[in-house]
Amino acid sequence: MVLPALLQPNSRLGSRMSKQQHYRTPLRLPDNVVEVKSKFEAEYRRFALKRNSPGDFQEFYRLLQTIHHIPGVDVLLGYADVHGDLLPINNDDNFLKAVSLASPLLRIIISKKEDEPGVFATNSLQRRKKGLGLTGLRTTVSGSAHSKNKPGLMIGLPQNFRQISSIIDVDILPETHRRVRLHKHGTNKPLGFYIRDGVSVRVTPQGVEKVPGVFISRLVRGGLAESTGLLGVNDEILEVNGIDVTGKSLDQVTDMMVANSHNLIVTVKPANQRNNVVHRGSKTSVGNCGSVGSVGSTGSTLSHDSPSPASQSNPITASNSIAEGDSDNEDDDRDLILENDCLTPFDSHHITNSNNTNLYDRDSPTSILHSTTVRTPLPQSISLPNSVGASLSDNSTTMSTLNGNTASSSHENMREDGNIITL
Amino acid sequence: MSFFSPPGLLLCLPAFSASVSLCPSYSLRQMRRFRRHGHESQRDRLKQELFHFNKTVEHGFPHQPSALGYSPSLQLLAIGNRSGAIKLYGAPGVEFMGLHDENAAVTQVHFLPHQVELVTLLDDNSLHMWTLRAHKGLSELLEIGRFMLTGPPGAPPSVTRVTAVLAHSSGELLLLGTEGGHVFVVEVPGFRELEERNISLDQVSNSVPDDYIGRRNLEHVEALQENPVNPNQVVIGYGRGLMIIWDLEKQRAIQHIPATQQLESVWWTEDGSYILSSHSDGSYCRWMVGAEDVNEEEEKSDIPYGHFPCKAISKIVQLPTEKGPPFLLFSGGMPRASYGDRHCITVIQNKTQVALDLTSRIIDFFVIRDGPKHTDPSALVVLVEEELVVIDLQTEGWPVIQTPYLVPLHSSAITCSHHISTIPIKLWERVIAAGELQNTHYSKKPWPITGGQNLAPDPPQRDLLLTGHEDGTVCFWDASGVCLYPMYKLSTAAVFHTDADPNDNMNQGTEGEWPPFRKVGCFDPYSDDPRLGIQKIHLCKYSGYLTVAGTAGQILVLELNDEAAEQTVEAKVVDLLQGQEGFRWKGHTRLDVREEPVLFPPGFQPFALVQCQPPAVVTALTLHSEWKLVAFGTSHGFGLYDYQQKNNVLIKCTLNPSDQLAMEGPLSRVKSIKKSLRQSFRRMRRSRYSVPYTQIQDANARLEAELAEMELAPVQRKIEARSSDDSFTGLVRTLYFADTFLSDSSHNTPSLWAGTNGGCVFAFMLRLPPVEHRADEPVTAQPAKEIQLMHRAPVVGIVVLDGHGAPLPEPLEVAHDLARSPDLQGSHHLLVISEEQFKVFTLPKVSAKMKLKLTAVDGSRVRRVGVAWFGSSRSEDYGESGLVVLTNQGDLHVVSLPGVKMQVQYPCIRREDVSGIASCVFTKHGQGFYLISPSEFERFSLSTRHVVEPRCLVEVPLHSDNSTKHRPLHDGFSSAHGCVPSVCLSQLLQEIQKSLEGDQT
């Protein structure tokens, strides 16, 4: 299972903060060196790197092998960041990041590759103590089933990734159904799936009945839908953003999905029912390497570790996703409006990321004038644990608007400091 | 503002209800669904007072007619069609409609003589009895019985398969001839079989003379006719040729007529002394009645277009005149080889013979008789597949009488329509005057079918419906009332050189030509140049300025002139690409403009022409007569043209550089099939005399192949967010002029708004010179705003709402005191209607205020939208504006203004009927029209106050003795547009009551 994601060395907020720190540190450390403390098994080594030219990852890797006297041993490198998170070092970029973040000490933890593959995902001890459950592990764990076959996969921490999809409302849906949210915003990936007409079998009091249904017919390679691993060919589509599609034509369902494409929530009945959420089952250890699909583990983790407040208070099927969808509707209101002061006569420009003062219109009229107005935090980011990821990315866009950047440029920024990693 | 757009052709009769008043219960149910408790119930009550959905009347010509009937006593005409509909027409405004439950073609329609009942035969062999029943002073067409002949057990179905129907003049008997050769006698209206009176084939064949060559097999009953002077005698014509005069009383054959040619029809002359028979070899024979028996009593036999083999004469009629020689009329009989493809009716009187050359296949014809004894033929009524033609037989030259209804809307295919409400009387009269000059070739006689009374009140206002056609014509229809009456026809083709051959007019009757053809009818589906097709129309009813735009990017500005004028129309070419590189237009070329002066007849005369480059189809058009500006848009951009100074003010390219498809020219595959078919048809027409049957086959095969290909494509839909890279994002969908606050909230300025397929809205501020310098100072346009809707759905409508939340009035409306001037004090709002959402923005600073999502919620998309005013049915002075919306699901919605809240929803058109949905136009008063077939508009109303529907009454004729034909007391035509006073109405009611009682006893 491939899960490309935009790696963001920290949450947007975090990276900004750390950048500021980075700018400040050289002033405080005139010697311009980074203290390094590396640990392999029980051994520690201390040494220093030049902050300005730490070299590249390969050099550093070899350096560590030399220092620890473990030439030829395949190891994984990790470092502890300012928050105490254990983050991987496996390429030049995150190596440089690690060096730049060191304040003042860069703590390196070296582990053998054959040891616990999912080390970074789950062994981030400090984080777990803080109650990591809230952020959800969805994106990361989905790779763990595979990671068994391919040892050596690097798995980052959930908050290091831009969320592209999530399973939601596990606690209120039947086990056979799955509600998947695709976060289109921020990625330039196509949603990448096709739907078709088909025949669905329903069990009714009168017996088994065949009714027309809508199914996923194809997943585009490399598309968002495929990359989530949460949707599959022949999955039956039951709802789109909380609205039942029964009785709707293929074209209607298509139009509904396209209209909701910025924040698409589809409820499906997966064709493959083996990976379903084990609902009130035992709190198994499926999370890491269980043969049951990673997806299931996510759900169970979620529903047990952090029962959704919304669903608790509102146990009826007034589903969270719809509420979310509503609040997310604010997002699609961000029509791009160019006022006359930035329009030059007879210039056949198109609305691209020009340097014009592009403003996002919100429903509050004041935000038009000055986008510095602070967005009220989205309700679901508090009440709904499974949407923290979404609110995270929302925040990031808000931040970028604060900066006065256009959406696309902020997007590009993210792409620059992030990486596409393959799990 | 024009929300009306592209072509809508083709197909599909939606189901209409069997009674004339349609489904009133539905809306109530809908209302109930919306009802909630508390204060909302008051709003609900208001909604009921404002909105009510009704399909009211069908305008135009019934699609695929298959049967014709006429009642001389009721003076009503009945047409049945292939989808089982039956329509009755009398005096203009008198219309009834019924639909058989069976979806089978109506093959025969027969009125019971001197009664209000009629019998229909469907091709599933069922017979149906219909009646016109008066209810609350209005007649309704109701089905009151059905019947299926049952043969003896084990008999083949052909025994009871009805081929001929005779409604006996007694009004009590129905004679049914069958394929098996039997004649069944049935009592009506109850459909009781009178077995003892049946005329079986055995009874007949026993008495057939031995020497008759066809006696072994007489074949089916082809014709049944009653002796006009002796109701006891009927003639039974068998397919093989034999005719038998049968005495119903004595139950025996009186006379045998041994014709030997395949029989097509039989006619018994008025005096009862002769029988005419027509045959499949193009001959007809006259036989003496009453002569002893058998033998070659044939008095006269003739093959009128003889020498070479001829086609069958399918129907023959001979009618005497008061003084002078009789009329002989027959259909068909043309020489097979040379004119076998013509659809002709020959009329012969004295030395005059004319072969009326009709435009499509003849379904049936009848003759209306007039004069003191109602014997003189006065008019010939011919129903052909695509139109109804009425010929005045009493005026020299037998001119055509213009039909007040049943006019073929599709004489050339309809490509767009535009509706204008409340036309000022001055413009109305000028259009009528221009139209009258075009109609000089029509007969001056009044419309001869005058049955029933039109009780509908006079239309409260004058409404115009304009239809644009594929051949570059624009038809003006009086859409005020139940009859969609043609007023005037404008042709734009004269401005251009077309590849039409001027000598192509093949119906120029030359002297001495035989047969003596005369072309009648107006149905002409062949367009000489598809580029001429009209795509957009905008008429300013106050100034009389009209702009029309077509398929090849041409925009004509026309003005109404009561005199003919010879003038040159100068073309202004506008390059919409504005230097966009790397495109090559692969579509059609620009139309070639005539450089020499052209003589334009009185009416709308073009004085300015803009040609877009690339010459893509014009997709949006609007006109502001006060500012004298025309805005137009294509898939490449839009422009603003000053028609006073005849120059271009603004060009804006909206094309996305990555959009190659927009340059491909006319797009879809479907269109290309249509084009190729059209071409092959045109080839066929050119070589019409040597019918290239193979070409038809070719065309059919090609069509089938294309269709098969389409069907094989997997039904699979891509789910993808729209992006700026999608195709045709630059296509301009809507253009709108508004005088509003664009830059600051204290100064209103003229502005132009454009919305594209990619969800983009452009606003330009216009600067108009003061009136005294309007002719010489330039008009300028400044870009003011751009809005890119995040959901990127096509923008289909833009409306500016004034401080009261009311839509801005049309140009000149205020100047003519017909609208309240807009509120310029309060803040204006911009309403952007995309296919998916309705969104209100503030002005001048554009910020979203509220919105209504459609697609995200129920998956339907806006196809048509219009602003309408709804008056309350309860209080005269309350009314509100609303948006009328038709979705791709065929549902109608009313959305409130300025709150954009969904008010009501009604299903209207089947969602599969794409062309019906595309053809829909709304009026400013909550009515609308859409095509239910290429030739018919369905009219509907969403308003409780503005409803146009037939309200008419047909009296039961007084049953006098059979020999004298009854005339209705009132002449329906003269009172057609009059309102019947209430006193008169109550009298009528009494009469109806009486006659109904009489009917029951």
Q: What is the pLDDT of residues B303-324, one digit of tens each?
A: 888 888 999 999 999 998 888 8
Cα–Cα distance for residue pair B366/B344, rounded to 1 Å = 14
* Cα distance between residue B147 and residue B187, in whole Å: 11
Q: Are B151 and B161 in contact (CB under 8 A)?
A: no
* pLDDT reported for residue B987: 55
Q: To the nearest whole number, what is the mean pLDDT of chain B?
A: 83
- Cβ pair A351:B786 closer than 8 A: yes
Integer Cα distance of B553 and B632 in angstroms: 9
Q: What confidence tens digit (pLDDT) does each residue in B155-194 have?
A: 888 888 999 999 999 888 999 999 999 999 999 888 888 8
CB contact under 8 A, B785 and A253: no
Residues of chain A with pLDDT under 70: 1-31, 83, 103, 114-163, 185-187, 276-333, 340-423
Contact A336 B724 (CB under 8 A): no
Contact A194 B716 (CB under 8 A): yes
pLDDT tens, position by position, A185-213: 666 778 889 999 888 888 888 888 888 89
Q: Can you give the pTM of this predicted structure? A: 0.74
What residues of chain B, 774 to 803, have a C-beta less than 8 Å from chain A? 782-791, 793
Nearest CA in chain B to A332: B790
Neighbouring residues of B735: CB distance < 8 A, sequence distance ≥ 6:
B2, B620, B621, B622, B631, B632, B633, B638, B752, B753, B754, B755
Q: Is B640 on the interface with A (CB under 8 A)?
A: no
Banded pLDDT at B681 (limits 50, 70, 90): low
Show which of residues 712-751 on chain B sit within 8 Å of chain A, judged by CB atoms. Answer: 714-722, 724, 742-743
**Residue B803, pLDDT score:** 84
Which among B659, B715, B717 is the top mutation candidate for probing chain A, defined by the most A β-carbons within 10 Å of its own β-carbon? B717
- Main-chain phi, psi angles of A77, to 5 degrees: -110, 140
pLDDT at position A389 is: 38
**B788 contacts in A (CB within 8 Å)?**
335-337, 351
Structure tokens at B869: 């005013």
Chain B residue at shortest CA distance from A198: B715
B648 near A CB under 8 A: no
- Could you write out the DSSP letters of every residue in B10-40? --------SSSS---HHHHHHHHHH--STTH
Closest chain B residue to the Cα of A220, Cα to Cα: B718
| Segment B10-30 mean pLDDT | 39
Contact by Cβ (8 Å): A227, A3: yes
The pLDDT tens digits for B431-469 are 999 999 998 889 999 999 998 989 988 888 999 999 999
Peptide bond into B320 cis (omega under 30): no
Closest partner residue to B857 (CB to CB) among A243, A250, A365 is A243
Distance from CA of A260 to the nearest CA of B (A): 6
Is residue B901 classed as helix, strand or coil in its secondary structure? coil
Contact B717 A261 (CB under 8 A): no
Q: What is the pLDDT at residue B700?
A: 67
Cis status, amide bond into B335, omega within 30 of 0: no
In DSSP terms, B985 is beta-bridged to none
Residue A260, SS3? coil
User: Who among A258, A335, A365 is closest to B721 (CB)?
Assistant: A258
Q: Which chain B residue's Cα is nearest to A249?
A: B859
Percent of chain B with pLDDT over 90: 52
Residue of B857, B738, B756, B744 whose CA lies nearest to B797: B756
- Test A196 with B743 for CB contact under 8 angstroms: no
List pLDDT tens digits, range B806-817. Answer: 898 888 877 776
Smallest Cα distance from B846 to chain A, Å: 7
Nearest by CB to A250, from B653, B715, B851: name it: B715
Q: Which residues of A touch B787 (CB under 8 A)?
A: 335-338
Cα–Cα distance for residue pair B443/B445, rounded to 1 Å: 5
Residues 148-187 of chain A with CB under 8 A from chain B are 184
- Give the three-state DSSP class for B412: coil
Q: Which of A195, A241, A336 sits opposite B717 (nearest CB)?
A: A195
Name every chain A residue with its beta carbon within 8 A of the beta carbon of B847: 337, 361-362, 365, 368
* Nearest-CB residue to A196 (from B716, B841, B857): B716
Predicted confidence (pLDDT) per residue in B30-39, tens digit: 444 444 455 6
Structure tokens at B871: 């008056």
Q: Provide the CA B957 distance to its chain's centre, in angstroms.
A: 31
The mean pLDDT of B669-690, rounded to a whole number, is 50
- Cβ within 8 Å, pair B722-A193: no
Phi-psi region of B117 (alpha: psi -120 to 50; beta: other; left: phi over 0): beta
Per-residue pLDDT of B818-836, as tens digits, reads: 667 777 777 899 999 999 9
Residue B23 pLDDT exceeds 70: no
- The confidence score (pLDDT) of residue A409 equals 37
pLDDT band at B588 (very low <50, low <70, confident <90, very high): confident
Residues A189 and A262 sit within 8 Å (Cβ to Cβ):
no
CB-based contact B846 A365, cutoff 8 Å = no
Reported as a pLDDT band with limits 50, 70 and 90, residue B510 is low
| Coil vs helix vs strand at B767 | strand
561-600 in B: which are within 8 Å (CB) of A?
Answer: 578-580
pLDDT at A152: 54
Yes or no, beta carbons of B743 and A258 under 8 Å apart: no
pLDDT of residue B783 exceeding 50: yes
Question: B345 touching A, CB under 8 A?
Answer: no
Q: Flag whether residue B814 sits within 8 Å of chain A, measured between CB atoms.
A: no
Q: How many helices (H) and strands (E) does chain B have?
A: 10, 65
* Of the partner residues B578, B789, B856, the one whose CB lies closest to the CB of residue A241: B856
The angle, 0 to 180 degrees and rounded to 10, between the axes of the packed helices A92-101 and A12-28 is 60
pLDDT at B716: 87
Nearest CA in chain B to A193: B719
Q: Tell me how many residue pairs between chain A and chain B have CB atoms under 8 A apart.
A: 157
CA nearest A348 in B: which residue?
Answer: B653
* CB pair distance less than 8 Å for A251 and B787: no
CB distance A337–B855 less than 8 Å? no
pLDDT value of position A348:
38
Interface of A with B in 214-273 (CB under 8 A): 217-218, 225, 240-241, 243, 245, 248-262, 264
Are the Cβ atoms of B853 and A329 closer than 8 angstroms? Answer: yes
Arithmetic mean of pLDDT, B61-69 = 94
